[in-house]
Amino acid sequence: MHRNPFTLPFDRLPADIAVFPLSGAVLMPGTQLPLNVFEPRYLNMVEDALGARRLIGMIQPLDEDERVLSKTGCAGRISSFSETDDGRIILVLTGLCRFDVVDELPLARGYRRVRADWTRFNGDYQDPAENEIDRTGLTDALRAYAESVGAEVSWDGFEKADDHLLVNALIANLPLDNKQKQSLIETVLPNERAELLKAILEMVGGESGGGGRMRH
């Protein structure tokens, strides 16, 4: 997977990282997530990140009050940002590497931080072998799913994307439920992640009963 010259090397990923708990907002390596930041604590977080490594960890909370965090999130680099006249920051995070939460640290200027363990996900920095996933099976499952739920799929982009980025982009963008997305985030190997995604698409498509319509 292509990385630009601003990408932090794996061995320089920080031991501590600021986290943004946001239900349903999924970042995966190589994907992009736009964010509209307006809460003071998260404005502080962005300001501090811009003055350091530009890294923010996106992580799903396990409860509505966002008190309990999932065990695994994904760090993203602020790859672009702009300020608004009403005090917001519009930014784009580009997914870099997943991490496991070791423990939570004291608040910093109102935002949350965790001690991160990157070890399990060092493969996020490596290019997977070609034809590692069952692309035909995944394509069939995605077509059936899209028809069932009425989802729009850019098939031209689907065919051009490499295997690794394709699976990650589907995880980040398909309207799956939070538990399904979290299980995919936590699956380490690309081929296992692709198989789990295919199984979820087949299950959801079967439950939906084929009542939707797909646009080409």
> b/e for 38-69, b at 16 or more Cβ within 10 A?
eeeebbbbbeebeeebbbbbbbbbbeeeeeeb
Looking at the fold, whether 21 and 58 belong to one and the same domain comes out as yes
What pLDDT was estimated at residue 39? 97
Residues 164 and 102 in one domain: no
Give the CATH number of the domain where residue 62 resides.
2.30.130.40
> pLDDT category, 55, cuts 50, 70, 90?
very high
Query: Which of 86, 101, 125 is the endpoint of a domain?
Result: 125
Per-residue model confidence as pLDDT tens digits over 5-46: 888 899 999 999 999 999 989 999 999 999 999 999 999 999
Residue 12: the pLDDT is 94
Residue 87 lies in a domain: yes
Asked if residue 21 lies in contact with residue 12, where contact means CB atoms within 8 angstroms, the answer is no
Query: Range with the lowest mean pLDDT among 72-76, 104-108, 159-163?
Result: 159-163
Domain shared by 92 and 192, yes or no: no
Across residues 185-194, what is the average pLDDT? Answer: 93
Give the confidence band of 215 by pLDDT, cuts at 50, 70, 90: very low
What is the pLDDT at residue 117? Answer: 98
Domain boundary among 62, 93, 125: 125
Residues 82 and 47 both lie in one domain: yes
Of 92, 125, 158, which one is at a domain's C-terminal end? 125
**How many whole angstroms separate alpha carbon 116 and alpha carbon 66?**
18
On whether both 63 and 106 belong to a single domain, the answer is: yes
Same domain for 118 and 142? no
Closest CA to 78 of 106, 100, 49, 108: 49
Residue 209 predicted with pLDDT over 60: no
Q: Is the pLDDT of residue 128 over 80?
A: no
Whether the pLDDT of residue 87 is over 60: the answer is yes
Q: How confident is the model at residue 216 (pLDDT cuts 50, 70, 90)?
A: very low
User: What local confidence, expressed as pLDDT, does residue 65 receive?
Assistant: 87
| pTM for this prediction | 0.89
Average pLDDT of the residues in 62-86: 95
- What is residue 93's predicted lDDT score, i.e. its pLDDT? 97
Token pair of 183 as six digits? 């299980």
Distance CA 60, CA 19 (A): 10
Instruction: For residue 153, name the pLDDT band (cuts at 50, 70, 90).
Output: confident
Assess whether 96 and 148 both reside in one domain.
no
Mark whether 17 and 116 lie in a shared domain: yes
In a domain, 130, yes or no: no
Same domain? 112 vs 161: no
Distance CA 155, CA 45 (A): 37
State the pLDDT at residue 2: 55
Examine residue 216 and state whether it is found in any structural domain, yes or no. Answer: no
- 154 and 66 fall within a common domain: no
Share of residues in the chain with pLDDT > 90 (%): 68
Same domain, 14 and 121: yes
Across the range 112-119, mean pLDDT stands at: 98
Tell whether 97 and 161 lie within a shared domain.
no
Instruction: Count the domains in the chain.
Output: 2
C-alpha dihedral, 206 to 208 to 211 to 212, nearest 10°: -100
Domain residues for 98? 10-125
Q: Give the whole-angstrom CA distance, residue 177 versus residue 208.
A: 14
pLDDT band at 131 (very low <50, low <70, confident <90, very high): low
